[in-house]
A = this chain, B = another copy of it.
Amino acid sequence: MGKLTRHNWRSKLHELIYEADTPSGKIFDLVLMFTIIASIILVMLESVKAIDERFHQLLNISEWIITILFSLEYIARIVSVRQPIKYILSFYGIIDFLATIPKYLSLIFAGTHALVALRALRLLRIFRILKLARYLGASNNLVKALKASRAKISVFLFAVIIVAIILGTIMYLVEGEKNGFTNIPKSVYWCIVTLTTVGFGDIAPQTPLGQFIAALVMILGYGIIAVPTGIVSAEYTTQVKQPEQPRNPDKIHTNTQSCANCLTEGHQDRAEYCHICGYKLHHD
């Protein structure tokens, strides 16, 4: 009986944390999302000197509150799962851990700048909640179109880089160090800035010949932007035209449940046992 009770709160906790179909699961996800966004805003504000100086104490306390919340959630996740090691070593397990520790580390390595990057990683946690989006199917065709055009876009990007290296080298020879093209890597950087039509203007050709080549680079860049657009557009049109309805009869609806034993997701609505490890999904 005692074991069953323990089993009971553990599976309840598991449902609360890992699933998004139940009302309590949805609330948990919403709270988590706002905590993550708040933690990101905190990192951003802290980097602004004027704000940090004025509200240093407040920011510090908020950071501790978020760290403690994340710590509790991390422990709850470990406790509610049957194979904690598997969770800890999973992609999201590592992200969760890294999102939790920066404040603790700052006690040891006081003033280390790089901890900011670690805290920015928290943003990746958003994707965990966005697993919801997957079921909305909003971006299904889009993802398919991107996957279908992946090979072509790679070939395209490869060609862009080769063009940038060759034209960058030519610009380095034409313009030279006195006009800001101090070395080939910098010239290639300028070439990418120009090809992609960003055009910072921190480096700009000064000689007539250099400006002529630059004009060619721009027109080239202006023209080839049509290529990736055309690819995605065409692939996407094809995806839209092959409607998913005819496939639907065979397509079985899956929910946001996640097995408490092996963390597998994508269970069918009628599933009673995990189709990977055979662990019972519902414990009433």
Contact = CB atoms under 8 A, between A and B. Distances in A.
Interface stretch (A20-28, A102-110, A157-165): A157-165
Query: How many residues of A sit at the interface, in one of the four size bands?
Result: 35 or more
A198 B113 CA distance: 30
Interface in A82-131: 113-114, 116-117, 120, 123-124, 126
A8 interface: no
A167 to B, nearest CB: 10
Interface stretch (A10-18, A68-76, A236-244, A268-276): A236-244
Contacts of A145: 230
A185 B236 contact: no
Contacts of A234: 233, 236-237, 239-240
A32 interface: no
Interface string A196-226: 1111111010001001101100110111011
A231 B152 contact: no
Given A184-B43, A200-B201, A116 B173 contact: yes
A31 interface: no
17 contacts: A47-B183, A49-B183, A117-B173, A138-B155, A139-B155, A142-B155, A142-B227, A145-B230, A153-B223, A196-B219, A197-B222, A198-B221, A225-B228, A226-B228, A234-B239, A237-B238, A238-B241
A252 interface: no
Contacts of A229: 225-226, 229-230, 232-233
A169 B228 contact: no
Nearest to A173: B117
Interface of A: 40, 43-45, 47-49, 113-114, 116-117, 120, 123-124, 126, 133, 136, 138-139, 142, 145-146, 151-153, 155-157, 160, 162, 165-166, 169-170, 172-173, 182-186, 188-189, 192-202, 204, 208, 211-212, 214-215, 218-219, 221-223, 225-241
A226 B202 CA distance: 27
Nearest to A185: B44
Given A116-B169, A192-B215, A223-B228, 7 more contacts: A40-B165, A116-B173, A120-B170, A123-B166, A194-B198, A226-B232, A237-B238
A152 to B, nearest CB: 6
**Across the A-B interface, the 9 shortest Cβ-Cβ residue pairs:** A198-B199, A230-B232, A200-B201, A230-B233, A120-B169, A201-B201, A196-B222, A202-B204, A47-B184
Contact of A116 (B120, B172, B201): B172
Contact of A126 (B48, B152, B162): B162
B166 A189 contact: no
